Structure 1
């Protein structure tokens, strides 16, 4: 019994794995099909084709990754907000905007290197509260500014 308790106490002090800055991985990248636009990601966000985001199998969600297209040396930084890709041989799925920035839209797949550069800001879902409570509060904003 004491062995079990000791193990539980030991493992409870271990923090979840963090991505090591500078970690590099090479492989093939693809991008989301248009049918995924608007669907929920593993992070709970909606897929937005115009954002710079991506899906990775094992990196912690909200990790910032520099993706470099090895064919043309273009680089961008994307935020990991989903799990995938589920195609064999791929290391990352990108949004359409990220793929366009890397110059890989016409080919569909590109040889890339991934480098972890940090952790993104946490996303918090909270109700949006109006700053103004009465019409008199925003009346000064309606006056023209010269």
Structure 2
């Protein structure tokens, strides 16, 4: 019995420490100098140029237990701050969907496409991309169609 309690305590402490100590990339194309792409809005994200930060440290702009990446892309001719695409990478404490490991996307009324990806592993917000969400959306729509067909 004591070995089981010890094992449960060990697993609990490991899971708590991994939640507390998650590290995420933190950058925003909004803060990039003109003509510079440090956050990977237009070019591939450079992991050697950016260092993941501890989410519950003073360095973090927002504390959290997982990472997120937000992409916003305006339609042709829609430009803010001299850019038509923005990327934000940071820690997060609450996912709009309540789950991590997924990407959600949509289009605002002004035509700006947005995508938010959440993940729960160290440094995981470096490469989340549209392909993940397209696969998720496609499979979800296919599943919904199959369910609707079976109900008929």
Fold in common (TM above 0.5): no
Higher relative contact order (CA 8 A, sep 6+): 1
* Higher share in strand: 1
TM-score normalized with structure 2 length: 0.27
TM-score normalized with structure 1 length: 0.28
* Higher share in helix: 2
The structure with the largest alpha-carbon Rg is: 1
